[in-house]
Amino acid sequence: MFVDHFKATNFRCFDNVECEFSRYLNVVYGNNGSGKSNFLEAIFYVLQGNGFRTKKDSYLLKYNAPFLRTEAKFTSQSIEKTVSVAWEKEAGKKITINGRENEKTASLFEECNVIIMTPATPELVKGGPEHRRKFIDRIHAKENPAYLSILNKYSITFRTRNLLLRRRLSNPHDKDMYSTLTHNIRNLSKIIQSERKNTIMQMQEVFFNICEQLNLPSLKNIRIMYAPSPIDAIDEYQLMQKEIQRGTSLIGSHLDRLSLRRDSRSLRIYGSEGEQKITAFVLKLCEFYFLETRTKNVPIVMLDDFQSELDNDNFNKMLAFIRPKAQIFLTSLHHEVVDNPDKVFKVENEEVHGEV
C-alpha cells in the first residue's frame, strides 16, 4: 500500500503540514529535535489511529491547540481510499474511512499495513516477554482478524478477574463470577496458546530464511523459544487462595514465556547490544514478510533513525530487502543517508518542505 497525499493540523510541533509522497523511498531529514519523528508519527497516526511513542492522543496535540486532525489519501490493493483521524478533548477520537464516520481503530488495523522500526525496536529482544507476545499476537491478528477479538475478550476477562481478586472476592456474587471467569480464561488461553505456537513455528522458518537471504550467518543459530504457561494442572482451591493473596491472575496466556536463544542461552541476557538490535530488526523484517504474503497488502515501512542504529553493511542489506517492494519513510540527520532517494523532505522550524 502507499500513502500518496497527507495533511496534518496541530500535530505535535506542527501547525500545518501538507505533502505528496513518493511511492518508493521518502527521506525525511533535519537536525535533532526538528520534528522528524513527529512527522513520521503523524503519518503513522492517520494509518493506525494512535501514535507510536504514546497511546495518549492528548500528548500528540500541539501545545495549547484546541484539536488535532490528520488526513490521507492512500492506495491499498489498487483501490484509492481516504482516511482522517481527528481528536479533541471533549469529543474524543473521530476516525473516518472513505466517508464512513465513527470507525474504530480496529478497522484501521485491518485496512492499513504499517511497520515501524525505531530506536525502541530492540526492546523486542532486550525487553520483557510482553513485547514479544504482543509482536506475535499482532502478526497473527493481521492474518486472522477474529483473533483480535479473542485477545480483547482475554484482556477484559483478565482485568475483571483481577478486579475481583483485588477486592478478595468479598461481594456476594464474586465467587460465582470468579469461577466463570476462571473457566473463560482457561478456554481463551488454550486458543491463544495454540495460535501463538503455530505463528512462532512459521516465524522461526521465515527468520532462518531471511538470515540466509541477507547473509547473516551469526544469527543462524537463534531460536524463538515458546513456553506456554500451564493452564490445567493446578488445584482450584489452592489457585484461588494464592490469587487472592497476590491480588492478580496466576493462570493464563499473559504468563507465556517467549524468548530468543542462541545455544539455549537467552539473547536478552547474554547477547551483545549489536546482536540484540540486529535480531530485533530481522524480526521486523519477518513481520514485513508475513504481512506482505498473508494479507497481500505490502506494508508501508517507517524507519526512524534506523541508520544510526546499525552499521552500514547491515543498514544497506536491510534496506535492500524492503526497498524494491515497499513505500518507505526514512528519517535521518542527513539527506545523503541513501543513494538516489525518490523524494526528500526537510524538517525545519516546525515545517516540512519537499525538496525533489
Question: Where do contacts with Mg ion occur on this chain (CB under 5 A)?
Answer: 37
Part in contact with ligand ADP (CB under 6 A); list of ranges 30-38, 110-118, 182-190, 270-278: 30-38
Q: Residue holding cell 553493511?
A: 313
Residue 126 interacting partner from Mg ion, ligand ADP, none (CB closer than 5 to 8 Å by kind)? none
Q: Could you say whether residue 239 binds ligand ADP (CB under 6 A)? A: no
- Residue 100 Rama label (left phi>0; alpha psi -120 to 50; beta): beta
The residues in 38-97 that bind ligand ADP, with binding defined as CB under 6 A, are 38, 59-63
**Which is nearer to Mg ion, 13 or 191 (by Cβ)?**
13
Q: How far is the CB of 35 from Mg ion (least distance, A)?
A: 8
- DSSP class of residue 101 equals -
Number of residues that bind ligand ADP (CB under 6 A): 15
Q: Which of 34, 249, 307, 332 binds ligand ADP (CB under 6 A)?
A: 34
Q: Long-range pairs for 19-24 at CB < 8 Å and ≥24 separation?
A: 19/345, 19/352, 19/354, 20/354, 21/327, 21/329, 21/343, 22/327, 22/342, 22/343, 23/327, 23/342, 24/323, 24/327, 24/328, 24/342, 24/343
Q: Could you say whether residue 32 binds ligand ADP (CB under 6 A)? A: yes
Q: Long-range pairs for 232-237 at CB < 8 Å and ≥24 separation?
A: 232/186, 236/182
Q: Could you say whether residue 37 binds ligand ADP (CB under 6 A)? A: yes
Q: Could you say whether residue 312 binds ligand ADP (CB under 6 A)? A: no
Q: Could you say whether residue 13 binds ligand ADP (CB under 6 A)? A: yes
C-alpha cell, 286: 519477518
Q: Which of 8, 12, 116, 178 binds ligand ADP (CB under 6 A)?
A: 12
Chain centre distance of CA 203: 16
DSSP annotation string for 147-162: HHHHHHHHHHHHHHHH
Q: How far is the CB of 318 from ligand ADP (least distance, A)?
A: 20
To which H or E segment does residue 14 belong? strand 14-20
Q: How far is the CB of 277 from Mg ion (least distance, A)?
A: 17
To which H or E segment does residue 8 belong? strand 2-11
Q: Which of 36, 131, 161, 277 binds ligand ADP (CB under 6 A)?
A: 36
Q: Which of 5, 15, 20, 33 binds ligand ADP (CB under 6 A)?
A: 33
Interface residues with ligand ADP (CB under 6 A)? Answer: 12-13, 30, 32-38, 59-63
